[in-house]
Amino acid sequence: MRSPIAVLKSDWKQFKDDAPGDRFENQRERAHRRSPAMTIVLAMIGMIFVAGGIVLLVFPGPGIPVIVLGLALIATASRTLAKAMDRAEPALRKRWDRIKAWWKNRKRRQHA
């Protein structure tokens, strides 16, 4: 039997290798092939992360990334959330790419 750390590393590699728009549903299916107890534990840890992320929105800290991580963990137990995150990811990636391009061009104009 593999260690939990080895399982998490393997899951992360598979998650990264999945295409945007399919990742969360694929991860959910992989999680459901394992123990139902592990799925429940991941969902509970996800809820703790979401709660912690909400607190970090008020106090200094990386609130939004922590919330997203929590939602990703909860998505291992929820098909609806996994599908919603799969729909949102490509649009968010597109916006993020536009923001990065804008930021890069802004820096170039300042130095010119």
Q: Which domain holds residue 13?
A: 4-86
Residues near 90 by beta carbon (within 8 Å), at least 6 away in sequence:
20, 21
pLDDT tens, per residue, the chain with 112 residues: 667 677 778 888 888 899 888 999 998 888 888 778 888 888 899 999 999 999 999 988 899 999 999 998 899 889 999 999 999 999 988 998 999 999 888 877 776 5
User: C-alpha distances in angstroms, 38 versus 10, 43, 44, 52, 64?
Assistant: 15, 9, 10, 21, 25
Is pTM beyond 0.85 here?
no
pLDDT of 59 reads: 86
Structural domain contains residue 67: yes
Structural domain contains residue 17: yes
pLDDT of 49 reads: 94
User: C-alpha distances in angstroms, 50 versus 64, 67, 82, 84?
Assistant: 9, 4, 15, 16
pLDDT of 10 reads: 82
How many domains would you assign to the chain?
Answer: 1
pLDDT of 85 reads: 93
Structural domain contains residue 104: no
